[in-house]
């Protein structure tokens, strides 16, 4: 029997940081500049920071109160709200991970075009061929064992942080206060709440995307040597990464105007540094991005394969996805996961604005798992499950409420178009759910679950119709 308890604190922190600091950090300057001016960006970071800290503390608390739930973010929804919502939480997280890897693959070969122009924007035939080779190399690395893959992820995490720290040090000397505060609120009248609110809203999917992965240690909690390390890794990874993100965006906005930043090619971090120190700065950042994306793809492949594996063992996904190989790797889930990623990478050949579309859909798909984890915190506080008699629950209640409000705000900020397109992805999952339920001799839906499933299918049908008539497009 292979020992699954193989990840220590540093490996878990590396998983959290490695999955969060992917390609998003390297394109933050232009992604945020397209959405907002300096003032609204700071408000956006304040909201995101407060919301993500609340969510991280919720995940830490749930990992401590319910150590029996090894599926983490998926199993919280299942334990709190039943099989169907548990399945949808797992499915949404899995879909988010798949789309995230497609976004990373596109950005990776787009950045390599700085050195090898044949890769273009990362969505042409050479990019797809090399991305496919890379995908299956990572696949076979993980098949050799999760611990070995986690060690490689630790090395790439260190490698990606070096150029980012170099960027931050150099940008301190290039920061100009007058550039940062110029047109601070984006209106001639100064602070105008309707305009500022819209800009803040427009930053939300960007700031959410760069924090997706905060739950990485929770997803892999079943492989942690010590359960207490799961919560520690989550909070340490989040706080460290948050400081990096805020510094990147503030320093960039103090070096170039919003208009100049918004027009930079991907990865914009490279071209900001090129503006400050010359071409060698872009070379360093692009090399760092390549290392970062390799690590992010590895980390996200680990997470994407682990969750269906755990869900299958719980009877939520089809049974064959719970297979392990002799090294203890989730082989059945891994083959399906990477097979689908391969399919999406091929579809990239016919797409435009692939990176932005993929990360936006990935961000929206993961909202349901986040929301129901926060709601489960409130439920635990209400029932007292996992608490000692007389133990204070007030702080946990406030954190749960804050995380729920943040998740609902993100649903609002995502907008109807992305919510409808995500409904298509969730509707496809219903077939998997029905198959798994039948396999275990259980009725597909109970009570209110059938109306909910029907609503998802109707929303997906509306989205498909709107896409067909040209009124809905992923590219906006």
Nearest Cα to Cα of residue 330 among 348, 351, 312: 312
* pLDDT at 188 exceeding the cut of 60: yes
Nearest Cα to Cα of residue 85 among 358, 376, 335: 376
Average pLDDT, the chain: 84
Compute the average pLDDT of residues 46-70: 85
Residue 326, phi then psi, degrees to nearest 5:
-70, -15
**Both tokens of residue 437?**
């339920």
Q: What is the pLDDT of residues 449-463, one digit of tens each?
A: 899 999 999 999 999
Cis preceding linkage at 267, omega within 30: yes
With bands split at pLDDT 50, 70 and 90, how would you rate the model's confidence at 2?
very low
* pLDDT at 411 exceeding the cut of 60: yes
**Both tokens of residue 359?**
């990360």
Pick the CATH number of 9-468 from 1.10.600.10, 1.20.1740.10, 1.20.120.640, 3.40.50.1820: 1.20.1740.10
Confidence at residue 157, expressed as pLDDT on a 0 to 100 scale: 73
| CA–CA dist 302, 325 (Å, integer) | 15
With bands split at pLDDT 50, 70 and 90, how would you rate the model's confidence at 37?
very high
Confidence at residue 158, expressed as pLDDT on a 0 to 100 scale: 77
Compute the average pLDDT of residues 42-51: 92
How deeply is 189 buried, as exposed, middle or buried, from its count of CB atoms within 10 A (0-12, 13-18, 19+)? exposed
Q: What is the model's pTM?
A: 0.81
Quick check: 106 and 128 in contact, CB under 8 A?
no
Compute the average pLDDT of residues 309-331: 81
With bands split at pLDDT 50, 70 and 90, how would you rate the model's confidence at 1?
very low
Nearest Cα to Cα of residue 296 among 168, 149, 425: 149
| CA–CA dist 208, 56 (Å, integer) | 13
With bands split at pLDDT 50, 70 and 90, how would you rate the model's confidence at 169?
very high
Confidence at residue 231, expressed as pLDDT on a 0 to 100 scale: 76
* pLDDT at 197 exceeding the cut of 60: yes
Confidence at residue 410, expressed as pLDDT on a 0 to 100 scale: 87
Compute the average pLDDT of residues 145-174: 79
Q: How far is CA 470 from the centre of its chain?
A: 29
In this predicted structure, which of 236-240, 294-298, 366-370 has the lowest mean pLDDT? Answer: 294-298
Identify the three-state secondary structure at position 220: coil
Strand partners, 7: 224
């Amino acid at each position: 029997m292979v020992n699954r308890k193989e990840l220590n604190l540093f490996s878990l922190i590396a998983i959290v940081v490695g999955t969060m600091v992917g390609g998003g950090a390297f394109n933050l300057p232009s992604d945020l500049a397209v959405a907002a001016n300096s003032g609204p960006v700071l408000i956006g970071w304040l909201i995101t920071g407060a919301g993500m800290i609340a969510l991280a503390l919720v995940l830490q608390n749930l990992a401590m109160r319910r150590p029996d739930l090894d599926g983490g973010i998926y199993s919280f929804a299942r334990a709190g709200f039943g099989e169907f919502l548990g399945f949808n939480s797992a499915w949404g997280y899995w879909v988010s991970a798949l789309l995230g890897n497609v976004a990373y693959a596109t950005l990776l070969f787009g950045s390599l075009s700085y050195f090898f122009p044949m890769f273009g924007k990362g969505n042409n035939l050479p990019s797809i061929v090399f991305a496919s080779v890379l995908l299956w190399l990572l696949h076979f690395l993980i098949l050799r064992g999760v611990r070995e893959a986690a060690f490689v992820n630790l090395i790439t995490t260190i490698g990606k942080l070096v150029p980012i720290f170099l960027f931050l040090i150099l940008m301190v000397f290039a920061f100009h206060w007058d550039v940062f505060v110029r047109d601070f609120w984006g209106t001639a009248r100064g602070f105008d709440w309707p305009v500022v609110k819209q800009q803040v809203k427009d930053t939300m999917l960007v700031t959410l995307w760069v924090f997706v992965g905060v739950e990485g240690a929770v997803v892999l909690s079943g492989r942690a040597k010590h359960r207490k390390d799961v919560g520690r890794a989550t909070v340490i990874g989040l706080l460290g990464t948050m400081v990096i993100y805020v510094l990147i965006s503030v320093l960039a906005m103090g070096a170039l105007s919003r208009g100049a930043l918004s027009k930079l090619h991907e990865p914009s971090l490279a071209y900001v540094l090129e503006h400050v120190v010359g071409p060698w700065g872009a070379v360093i950042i692009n090399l760092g991005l390549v290392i970062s994306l390799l690590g992010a793809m590895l980390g996200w492949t680990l997470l994407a394969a682990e969750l269906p594996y755990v869900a299958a063992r719980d009877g939520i996904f089809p049974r064959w996805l719970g297979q392990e190989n002799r090294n203890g790797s989730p082989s059945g889930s891994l083959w399906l996961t990477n097979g689908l990623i391969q399919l999406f990478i091929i579809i990239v050949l016919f797409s435009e604005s692939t990176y932005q579309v993929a990360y936006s859909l990935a961000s929206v798909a993961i909202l349901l798992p986040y929301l129901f984890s926060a709601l489960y915190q409130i439920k635990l506080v209400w029932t007292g499950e996992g608490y000692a008699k007389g133990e204070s629950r007030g702080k946990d209640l406030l954190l749960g409420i804050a995380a729920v409000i943040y998740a609902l705000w993100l649903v609002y900020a995502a907008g109807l178009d992305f919510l409808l397109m995500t409904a298509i992805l969730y509707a496809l999952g219903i077939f998997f759910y029905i198959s798994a339920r039948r396999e275990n001799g259980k009725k597909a839906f109970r009570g209110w679950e059938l109306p909910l499933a029907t609503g998802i299918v109707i929303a997906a049908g509306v989205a498909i119709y709107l896409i067909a008539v040209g009124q809905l497009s992923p590219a906006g």
